[in-house]
Structure formats: C-alpha cells, structure tokens
Amino acid sequence: AKKWQDRKEVLDAVLKLSEATKMENGDYSQLVRALVKVISKDTNVMLVTEAAKIISGLAKALRMKFQPYAHMCVTAILEKFKEKKPNVVAALREAIDASYQSINLELIMEDVIAALDNKNPSIKAETTLFLARCFSRCTPATLPKKILKTYVTALLKSANEPDPTVREGSFEALGVAMKVVTEKHIAPFLTDVDNIKMLKIQEWSQKAVLVNMKGEPRTKGGPAESGAPPPGKTAVAKKADEEPKPVKKPAGVKPGGPSAAASKAKGKAKGPAKKSQTIKKAGGEEKMEPALSDEAVEEKAQTFLPGDTLTNILSANWKERLSAMENFVKVVSSTSKDDIPCQVCIRVLNKKPGLKDTNFQVLKLKLELVSHLTRNSKFSKRSAEGCLPDIVDKLGDVKNGGVAKECLTGMAEVLGLDYVGLEVLSMAFEQKNPKNQLEALTWLTTSIQEFGLKLNVKALIATINKALAASNPGIRLAAISLLGVMYMYIGEPLKVFFDKEKPALRQQIDDEFLKMKDVKPPAPIRKVVGDVADEGDADEDNEEAGDGEENGDGEFSVQDLVPRTDISEKITEDLLTELADKNWKVRGEGLQKVINILSDAKFVMPQLGQLPEALKTRLGESNKNLQMTTITICATLATALGSHCKGHFKVIGPGLLMCLADSKPALREKVISCLNAWVEHCTLLPLVESEALFDALKSENPFLRAELLGWLSQLLPTHKQLPVELRNIVSSVLVCLEDRNPEVRKNAADALVPLMIHTGYDAFVKALGKCKPATKDQIQPLLEKAKGELPAKPAKIQKAAPAANNKKVVPKSAPQAAVPSRFDEPEDDEPQPERSVAKSDSKSKVVKGKGKSAPPPPPAKKKDDEDVGPTMNMTVTKDQRVKEEKAMKVLKWNFIELRGEFVEQLKGQMEKNFNRVVMADLFHSDFKSHIRAIEQLIKCLETQERETLNNLDLLLKWFTIRFFDTNPSMLNKALDYIQHLFSLLTSLDYHLSDLEAGSFIPYLLMKSGDPKDNVRRDVRNIMKQMCKIYPSSKMFSYIIDGLKCKVSKQRTELLEELGCLIDNYGLNVCQPSPAHALKIIA
C-alpha cells in the first residue's frame, strides 16, 4: 500500500498474530520478505518498529523452524542499525537476537564482518554489541578457533575506531569471547594488543554473564564460568574475594629486565616471553580491589585512627595538621602489614587539602606515609588511582620532589613499572607544568635502569615524541637521555622510530645512541614484589651466557618489546600486478609503494603474502635503477622482520646471490651489505638448507664466484655450526680453485679454512677423490696447508678422548691435534681414540689384523650417496601433524597461487618420513623425476599400506602442488596414482578427515576445467571415488564453492557433478539447505 496508515493497519493485525507462543511449521517466506522490505526501505520509523517486533515474535514462536528466514533478517537489521531513535534500535535488537537463536555465527560471518567495516559508527557499535550477546550464548565447542580468529581480527580493528561507543562495544565483545573460551585459547589472537586495551578486555571478561539458550544465566559452565560473579557483583569485587595464589609467578620467570628473561629463556624466545606478560597482566588485576563507599571509609578511619586525628587532618591550622599527621604515621608504623587498611589511609590523605597541602612539612609527612604504605601494606591499583595524579603534580616541587619520586618507585615495586611508568608519563604530559614533565622523564630514566626495560615500548615512544616536540629544551634533553637508556636494551632498531625527526634533533639522538653503543644494560637492582625468581639460577645462566650473550639478550628484548605491524592486507593483487608490469615506470611506482609501506610500518610481522616472490622476481630486473631499489627494499625488509625473516630468506636469498653476477662493483657491494643484514637476523642456515649456495657456485660467472667466496670466507669463521648440507658446495669450491679468473682462485683458497671449520677436512678429501689425477696434484697441497691452519681442538673434546678409550694419545703436532669439525671422520693413518668407539667391530679387526684402512671407505661412500631404506616410514605420525595444524604452528594449506613457503613447509614435513632418494625426485625441478617418484609410490600401495595411510595427508598435499604443473605425462601419472590410492582407501573402508579433504579437493576441482578430455575424465572418476570415502554432503559444499571460478569448462563440469550428486543422493545432499544451494546453481 502507498499510504502508511494502510501498511500500519496490516502490520498491527500481523503483530497480534505473531504474539503466539508457538506456531505450526509452514511457508512464511513471503511474509518475512515483506517484513524485511519494510525494515530495509520504509521511511516511517513506527512501521519499522512494528516489523521488527513481528520478526521477533515469529522467530520466538517458530524457534529452530525460523532458520530458513533468519539470515535475511539479520542482514537487513544490521544495515538498519544506522537508525538513531532508541525505541527503534531496541526493537531491532530484540528482533536480531531472536533471529540468531535459530542459526550460528558461521552463517552470518560475512554480514557481520561487513557491518563492522561500515562507515556508519552506529552500525559498527550495534554490531559489536550484537556479537557480545551472541558470544554470551556460545560454548567453547560452538566457538571454534577458526570462527573465533575471524571475529577477533575484525573486533581488534574496530577497537581502534575514533568513536568511543564502537571501541567499548568491541572490548565488550572480546571480553565475552574471552570468558567463553578462556584467556589461554584467545591469547594467540591478541598478541599485538597493548596493556591498556588488554586490561579493558579482561575487565569486560570479568563482568560478562554467560547465558543458556533460554537467556538465563548459566549455573554451571565452562572453565571461565565457574568463577563468574553474580550480576550485581563487579569484576573488581570478585578479584578481591579470590585467593591470592594466582599472583605467584612460576619459578621459571625472571624478575629482571629483558636481559634476565632472555638468558633464562635461551632457545625458547617466544614462549616464556608471552607467558611472562600474561602473568604480569594477571598480577595487575589481582592487586585491584573494590572501591569503598565514603561511609565505609569514614567508619573504618574512625576505628583505625585515635582521638581527633581524623578531624585535625582537615584543620585549617597547619600545626594541627602536622600534629595529626605525626600521629597518623605512628599508628601506621606500629600496625602489621595485614592489618593496615591501605585504601582507607589513602582516601583519608586525599581529604582536602590532601596531597596539595601548601605546607611543605605536612606534605612531606603525607608523601612519606604513602611511600611507607607502598612497601608495608597491601597496596593495590585502587589505592594508586587515588593518589597518583597528585604525586605526579608534586614531582617538580623543590622541597618534596625527591619524596614524591620515592613514592612512585615504591608503587612500581608493587604494581610493576609497566603500569606506573606509563601512567606517570601520561599524567605529566596532560599537565602544562614543564618541571613535572622534566622530573617524570628523569625518574623513568633512572627506574628503567633499576627495574629493566619492562614497559610497552610503543606507548612509551608515543609519549617520548611529545617530549621531543616540547618547546622547553630541558624536556627535550631529558627525553633524549631516556632514549639513550632504552638504546642499551633495544639497540639499533630503536633508531627506526625517529627517522622522520628534524635533522638537528636526529643528530642529538644519534649522538646519545653513540655514547651508549658499547654500554651493557645494568643488572636490575629492583623487582616487583611477588615475582618469584631463583637468584642462583639467574647467576648460573649469566655465567653460562658469558659476555658474548649480552647482545643475544638485547635481541630477545627487541623481538619481545618492539611493536610490529601486519602489512599483509596492504600487499594487494593490484600492487603485485604493478610489480610484474611490463612498463618499467609502473614497476618503479610499485616498488615505491612497497618502500612507503615498510617506512610507515617500521617493524612488520612475518605475514607478507606474495611480496617475497615478487621481490625475488624484481631482483632479476633488467633496469639497473629498479634493481638497486629492490635490493634496498630487501635490506629494509630484513631489518623490519628481525628474527622472523628465516622463512623469507629462503625465497629472497637465492635472488640476492644471483645479483652478485653483475659487473658493477657498486651493485655487488650493495648486495653484500643486504646479505649481511639478513644473515645478522637469521644466519646462513636458510641458504644452506635450500642449497642456494650450491646453485650459485655452479654458475660460471667469475664475479658471482669471487664475491660469494670472499663473503663466505669472512662470515664462516665466526658463524655458528652449520648442518651437514654445507658439504654440497665442497666440490664446487674445488672447481673454483682451478678457475681461470685469479680473483676466484684466490677467494676459493681463502675460503678453504672457514669451510673446513664447518664441513671437516675429510669432506674435501672425499670430494678430491672424484677429481682427475692432474687436479688432485694441484689441489692436494692447498688442502694440506689449510688443514694445518685449522683452529685448535676445544678443551671439552680433548677431555673426552681419554675417557672414550682409557688410553692417552699424545699428538705429534698442533695440526694433528686439531679437530676441525664435528663432521670429521678419522684418517686411516692417524690414531683416533675418541672415534674408535663408534667404529664397527669388523672395521676394527681389519685395521688391527691387516694394518690397512682401504676397505672402510666404500661403505661410507655408499651410505652418503644412497639411501637403501624403505620409501616411507612413520617417524612422525599423522596425529602429530594434525595437532600442529590445529594449533596453527604451521601454515594452513589454503592458497590460490602456489607460494614457495608452502612448498618449503611440505618439504620439511615429508623429509622426516620419506627416503632421501625419493625426496630428491619428489622436489626435483624435472618432471621425469616426478614421474619416477610417482611410480615408486604406486609400488608402495601394495608393499607399504600402513605407511601410505600414515602419510596420506602429505601425499595429497604433494599432488596438489603437481596440479599447478603443466606437463601432461606427469599429470596423467599423478591422476592414475590418485585413482589407485582411492581404490585402496575404499577397500579399507577408510574415511578422509576434513583436514585431508580440505587440502586436496579444492585443487582437484581446479583440474575439472582442464582443456584435455582425458584429464577431465580422470577427475570425474576421482570425484565419484571421493563420495565413497568422504561424505557427499560435504563434497557438495566444495563443488558449490568451485562454481565461483571464471573458467566456463570448470563450471560446466562441476554443475554436471552436482546433478549427479543430487540424482544419487537426493536433495538432502544440498548444503546448507536445498533452497540456498539451488539458488546458487540457478
């Protein structure tokens, strides 16, 4: 109807009908669509309100039968939340809550995420509150990690919105989610949340009340619910009633600064760091107590303080106030820690004139009393909130500033420097008194040296930037001094935050950093009360670490403290397209965008999308200017990633090595500098594991060989021990010793000793045995000379020799005494007591009886060159890999275009369970090797049935990689194997898991649109087999998703397959519902 009165009359009639408590099942689709249209498009708010009430009534009456209509209602209501009238919003809330009861979070995920990205703050705010209500009805089982991660990511983004209502709603939703799944399970998604936001989320978590399906508070629930306070009780009241045991930290957590934590957590950098932070936050909450009413404070103060002390504290006569304070101090001093009502004392001190007392003597006594309370009572954050602003205001006081600093230090010992330090700076810079700001910076500078750098660096730098911009030169100098102390702990990465400062100021900062360059952070002399630490263990760790480990500790603190930015969303398809454009100007613009992204982010998370592959391509750039720019970007990226760069170095490293082939010395020098930046953070290990060094030295380019060998000769002597794969380059180094270019020969000779330190002398002897006689005569003297220059044997190994054989062997000369590497094997003409235990009895007899050592080498050679073991084994079980994937310790097998990091991850998983020869064929660049590997796998279907089932997930993932290859012979062989494999699985009545299916089916469906008929035929056969080992309804969902592609042949094939599924299994196979599925098909 055109008239709103007519529409209202109809809606009134329907509203009466919708008030029924229960309705029969039927087709309500037309009615719901009409109501949704009213909500979405009607301009009369009265009608919108009535339509929302009708939907609410329908949803409650139909209950789960409302499911087919719930999704469209939720979508419309989310968009209508832009309405600001309270009565309309209330009706919409009731309607959307009623609609949600028949569906789940997964079905509405896309709409909710879109609403959170909406420009209208009202829609965002109401969406966050809706999510909070949805979460309150969830359990850990109905809120799995996959769904939780998506919602948490979106809510964290909205938590940074300028609108306070949106922020609070986001914190509330996150808090309820934390209550449902517990902090332990949501913590991995909140790693970048600063302390202030985390406290907000935890506060909402404590306030949250979880409800059952009827909307009533749960009496018993998950682990988070057992401690839930009643609706009228606040979170802080709950904490006050709890036992204080959770405050106690485990003995493994050190109280010192980052250096102490790093020395204890050596080798486990990330785990202990996060654990320590969690404990710290929990500790901060434990010290919060409920706020007392004014009446309760008055009553307790009258009981605690004698006579007219309470009255005289408020007197206008300073002498009476002074006398009252002296009595106050005596009472507190003579009372035990457990009996002092700390909050009451602070509230009494705050009574006018409070800590703003104009008489310096009275003020001094008050500040000294606060300092005493911090160390001799149960001082909480509630108490700190009552006096901290006034104490900060007195930092610049000439007579009492020192006592005020003592109060702050006492609070930091109780509540932690992270809380007190940031609060003090924040309050000081909210004031306009430059003296207070100067003294606050000075106090924090001293406190960091006493406690260690236990602060949120991101928040601290934001305040320091305000200080650097101050007009008062004293404040600027104090801020620079504070930066100098922070530099002791963080090091060079701290400079990045101040690159954009004015040149004069940046010069002052650099000068301060230069003073602190070689200064080591002092050992902490203060710690937070309640931190449990074994001082003996700390000393022992420090002794083991030695002086050389100080830098390592600094690096640990950097990774733990420096805030990182996720730039994966900025690495868009458009940017990658620009980087690959044919026009060099467009490519240059793309590189400039990458520079801007890294410049804005400073430090980044390891999620870079396909940026590393794009940069590797640009390293082979024909335009030298763009190539130089790319190398600069790679160096910046190494610094931005820090210790997270290992996986990306495997991709970018080979490209950088190939740049050494350039004839321009300036470019090669820049490449070496870039390589040093990467190696500084992740060592040479990625290049050794990926065989990039071997591939580079195979090149006959003299520039590349000379530069690479020269670089290795400088790097390897002080590098930590590298794995046995480094031996692969030995033969290439021997070839370089005979290169035509004198520079290559010289650098190859210089690299012999550094390489022998890691590979051992025997590796060179073995490689020399394969050379021509003429070559041997020239190279043998060089090897002997290098052997003589090897460093002496470490003391520990010398002591182990007599113990192994109970026989003292006196070396004839220094070179013979040297043990160059853990990879060395004993020479046949020299005694090797420490290795004799490892030799076989047969070999010992040959050596003793015949005095010859010729027989042993052939078996050793065979062992190195061949792997005669079974094709597959069960070293790592499938269950272990599933646990790792569910715990998100590995990348989820989900990609549109194949990236190197997925291949490397799969290779690392397979090499533990597959024969080395087969592994070489599986990951070879030649399709013939792939065919050879598949033939071997076909044999295993009969001979290694159990092993095949154990490694099924790895095999399916490997075949998805092969689907991206184009060779028809290999593809036919792969599809043939898969058909044999699925036949075996069918005969064994095996059922694919969701992880196995999810990592294979989407990529199989890609091949359904292949131009070759035989490939499409094989794919059809495999899909038919799939339905025998995997539910057809789930298969249907994958095929529906496959229809989104743009290849017409693929869509045609998939539609035919859907038709077959419906013919064979009926309409019940359609997911999530026949109506929804048929709509997509149509």
* Cis amide leading into 162 (omega within 30): no
Which of 235-244, 559-568, 804-813 has the highest average model confidence (pLDDT)? 559-568
**Cβ neighbours of residue 352 closer than 8 Å, sequence gap 6 or more:** 314
Q: Read off φ and ψ for residue 493, nearest 5 degrees.
A: -55, -20
Q: Tell me which amino acid residue 769 is.
A: G
Over residues 436-456, the mean pLDDT reads: 90
Q: Tell me which amino acid residue 884 is.
A: E
Helix, strand, coil percentages for the chain (3-state, nearest 5): 70, 0, 30
**Cβ neighbours of residue 164 closer than 8 Å, sequence gap 6 or more:** none
In this chain, the answer to whether the domains covering 4-219 and 587-682 adopt an identical fold is yes
- Inform me whether the pLDDT recorded for 440 exceeds 90: yes
Instruction: Give residue 868's pLDDT.
Output: 52
Of 1-10, 23-32, 276-285, least confident by mean pLDDT is 276-285
Measure CA 945 to chain center.
Answer: 38
Of 472-486, 860-874, 887-901, 944-958, least confident by mean pLDDT is 860-874
Quick check: 1071 and 1033 in contact, CB under 8 A?
yes
**Cβ neighbours of residue 852 closer than 8 Å, sequence gap 6 or more:** 846
Distance between CA atoms of residues 673 and 684, nearest Å:
14
Distance between CA atoms of residues 1078 and 1082, nearest Å:
6
Instruction: Give residue 126's pLDDT.
Output: 93
Of 43-52, 257-266, 719-728, least confident by mean pLDDT is 257-266
**How far from 187 is each of 16, 210, 735, 815, 1021, CA to CA, in Å?**
48, 20, 54, 55, 45
> Which alpha helices (H) appear in 546-664, and where do they start and end?
550-561, 573-579, 584-601, 611-619, 624-641, 646-659
Distance between CA atoms of residues 918 and 915, nearest Å:
5
354 burial level (CB within 10 Å; 0-12, 13-18, 19+): middle
**Model confidence band, residue 480 (pLDDT cutoffs 50, 70, 90):** very high
* Cis amide leading into 612 (omega within 30): no
Higher pLDDT, 558 or 852: 558
Instruction: Give residue 792's pLDDT.
Output: 65
DSSP string spanning 561-583? HS--B--GGGS-HHHHHHHT-SS
Q: Is 888 left (phi over 0), alpha (psi -120 to 50) or beta?
A: left
Tell which residue, 896, 1019, 902, 1015, has the closest CA to residue 966.
1015
773 burial level (CB within 10 Å; 0-12, 13-18, 19+): exposed
Distance between CA atoms of residues 130 and 173, nearest Å:
8
Distance between CA atoms of residues 755 and 750, nearest Å:
9
What percent of the chain is modeled with pLDDT above 70? Answer: 83
Quick check: 402 and 264 in contact, CB under 8 A?
no
Q: What is the pLDDT of residues 152-207, one digit of tens each?
A: 999 999 988 888 899 999 999 999 999 999 888 888 888 878 878 888 898 899 88
Quick check: 732 and 694 in contact, CB under 8 A?
yes
Tokens representing 339 are 């009996």
DSSP string spanning 222-257? STTTTTPPPTTS-HHHHHHHS-SGGGSPPTTS-SS-
Q: Decide: helix, strand or coil at residue 872.
A: strand
DSSP string spanning 261-273? HHHHTTT--HHHH
Work out the angle between the directed axes of helices 270-286 and 550-561 (0-180°, nearest 10): 60
Distance between CA atoms of residues 444 and 459, nearest Å:
14
Q: What is the pLDDT of residues 921-941, one digit of tens each?
A: 898 888 888 999 999 899 888
- Inform me whether the pLDDT recorded for 611 exceeds 80: yes
Tell which residue, 106, 91, 105, has the closest CA to residue 59.
91
Work out the angle between the directed axes of helices 702-715 and 742-759 (0-180°, nearest 10): 40
Quick check: 705 and 668 in contact, CB under 8 A?
no
Distance between CA atoms of residues 688 and 482, nearest Å:
41
CATH fold label, 4-219: Leucine-rich Repeat Variant (1.25.10)
- Inform me whether the pLDDT recorded for 1053 exceeds 80: yes
Over residues 681-692, the mean pLDDT reads: 84
- Inform me whether the pLDDT recorded for 692 exceeds 90: no
Instruction: Give residue 551's pLDDT.
Output: 39
Distance between CA atoms of residues 615 and 292, nearest Å:
61
Instruction: Give the number of other CB atoms < 10 A from CB of residue 979.
Output: 14
Q: Is 354 left (phi over 0), alpha (psi -120 to 50) or beta?
A: left
CATH fold label, 310-515: Leucine-rich Repeat Variant (1.25.10)
Q: What is the pLDDT of residues 373-400, one digit of tens each?
A: 998 888 888 888 889 999 999 998 888 8
Quick check: 284 and 419 in contact, CB under 8 A?
yes
- Inform me whether the pLDDT recorded for 780 exceeds 60: yes
What is the overall mean pLDDT for the chain? Answer: 79
**Cβ neighbours of residue 1010 closer than 8 Å, sequence gap 6 or more:** 1016, 1019, 1049
**How far from 249 is each of 107, 473, 523, 1037, CA to CA, in Å?**
42, 42, 20, 48
**Cβ neighbours of residue 795 closer than 8 Å, sequence gap 6 or more:** none
Instruction: Give residue 675's pLDDT.
Output: 92
Instruction: Give residue 54's pLDDT.
Output: 92
Quick check: 369 and 329 in contact, CB under 8 A?
yes
Report the CATH superfamily, name and number, of domain 880-1030. Answer: Leucine-rich Repeat Variant (1.25.10.10)
Of 248-252, 902-906, 988-992, least confident by mean pLDDT is 248-252
Which of 121-125, 502-506, 808-812 has the highest average model confidence (pLDDT)? 121-125
Instruction: Give residue 263's pLDDT.
Output: 37
**Cβ neighbours of residue 184 closer than 8 Å, sequence gap 6 or more:** none
Distance between CA atoms of residues 501 and 724, nearest Å:
47
Instruction: Give residue 1026's pLDDT.
Output: 87
Any idea which architecture 587-682 has in CATH?
Alpha Horseshoe (1.25)
Tokens representing 635 are 């160096």
- Inform me whether the pLDDT recorded for 969 exceeds 50: yes
Instruction: Give the number of other CB atoms < 10 A from CB of residue 591.
Output: 23
Higher pLDDT, 182 or 602: 182
Quick check: 995 and 977 in contact, CB under 8 A?
no
Q: Which residues of 1041-1076 are buried (b: 16+ CB within 10 A; e: fewer)?
A: ebeeeeeeebbebbeebbeebbeebeeebbbbeeee
**Cβ neighbours of residue 314 closer than 8 Å, sequence gap 6 or more:** 321, 351, 352
Instruction: Give residue 219's pLDDT.
Output: 63
DSSP string spanning 1030-1067? S-HHHHHHHHHHHTTSS-HHHHHHHHHHHHHHHHHH-G
Instruction: Give residue 178's pLDDT.
Output: 92
Q: Decide: helix, strand or coil at residue 114.
A: helix
Of 349-353, 799-803, 1062-1066, least confident by mean pLDDT is 799-803
Distance between CA atoms of residues 947 and 875, nearest Å:
10
Over residues 430-435, the mean pLDDT reads: 86
Instruction: Give residue 788's pLDDT.
Output: 82
- Inform me whether the pLDDT recorded for 849 exceeds 60: no
Instruction: Give the number of other CB atoms < 10 A from CB of residue 923.
Output: 18
Q: What is the pLDDT of residues 638-679, one digit of tens each?
A: 888 887 788 888 889 899 999 998 888 899 999 999 999 888
Instruction: Give residue 481's pLDDT.
Output: 92
The secondary element (H helix, E strand) that includes residue 937 is helix 927-943
Measure CA 57 to chain center.
Answer: 45
Distance between CA atoms of residues 968 and 960, nearest Å:
15
Measured in residues, the chain has a length of 1082
Q: What is the pLDDT of residues 81-108, one digit of tens each?
A: 988 888 899 999 999 999 998 888 888 9
What are the extents of the domains in the chain? 4-219, 310-515, 587-682, 797-865, 880-1030
Cα torsion angle, 569, 574, 576, 578, sign = negative
Tell which residue, 574, 650, 643, 565, has the closest CA to residue 608.
565
DSSP 218: P
Instruction: Give residue 893's pLDDT.
Output: 86
Q: Read off φ and ψ for residue 515, nearest 5 degrees.
A: -65, -35
Measure CA 155 to chain center.
Answer: 17
Cα torsion angle, 974, 976, 978, 981, sign = negative
Instruction: Give residue 775's pLDDT.
Output: 79
What percent of the chain is modeled with pLDDT above 90? Answer: 17
- Inform me whether the pLDDT recorded for 282 exceeds 60: no
Tell which residue, 958, 903, 912, 953, has the closest CA to residue 936.
958
Q: Tell me which amino acid residue 594 is.
A: V
Instruction: Give residue 803's pLDDT.
Output: 37
Instruction: Give residue 444's pLDDT.
Output: 93
